[in-house]
Amino acid sequence: MTEPATLSLTGRVAVVTGASRGIGRAIALELGSRGAAVVVNYLSSPDKAGEVVAAIEAGGGKAIAVQADVSSLEQAQSLMKAAAEAFGGLHILINNAGIIRDGLIVRMKEEDWDDVIRTNLKSTFNCSKSAIRPYMMKSKYGRIINITSISGQMGNPGQTNYSASKAGQIGFTKSLAREVAEWNITVNAVAPGFVETEIIENTRQEAIDYILRITPLGRMAKPEEVAYATAFLASDQAGYITGQVLGVDGGAAMM
């Protein structure tokens, strides 16, 4: 009987944006545990990013931390260059960086809209563009995974900005998947429901209560559960999956 293939990422180089905490941290640790060399991107938490790097290295993996504001195209380009120079290539990109600025639209400030769209959606464009050319196109291999949200599929009161940014990521995922398939680059999205992370502290309790009421499994996800799904989409085993949105939401967005 043939032994089942293990989900190994040995030999791959991965960039995870917003990886110093929460879902990004869990993804970086998971990819590192499966053999990928991981670039831990952060904006303003060098100590936390360093802890992620140390944890990956303690498990025998390779990792570096790189500061970059990925809402800037120039800094996104520098991030991808740093990854390729440190580890000799770039194969996996996890677009995870994101913020929330919740509020009903009648009270929402223009900067709250702009900040969320720039951080959540424009960064996805910046990093994907910077990773695809020259790195992924040159090697004719790539895995791009965008961490979107159930809010981008269903909407959520008080989150017009966040929901728009996450819905935008889904449309971006499907369009880009069609553009880059000829270079053996897949583009997928993972759409978590509510996850037990620090970001929940800034979410209105009414929104949390609403999501839990409509979630068949009746609980929040653990960051590691999102990381497992992401690692699968980053693997060779997922090579025939592209343009898809994988829900990790306890059944809340069933259609």
Using the structure block, give the residue that is written with the tokens 């944006």.
Answer: 17
Q: How does DSSP assign 149-162, residue by residue?
A: -THHHH--TT-HHH
Q: Are 131 and 109 in contact (CB under 8 A)?
A: no
Catalytic residue among 162, 210, 228, 240: 162
Using the structure block, give the residue that is written with the tokens 């905490």.
Answer: 21
CA distance 133 to 186: 14
CA distance 205 to 141: 42
In the Cβ-directed half-sphere of 212, how many Cα atoms lie within 13 Å?
13
Q: Is 162 a catalytic residue?
A: yes
Using the structure block, give the residue that is written with the tokens 């996104």.
Answer: 76
Provide the β-strand partners of residue 144.
93, 187
Residues 6+ apart with CB under 8 A from 182: none
Which residues are known to be catalytic?
Answer: 162
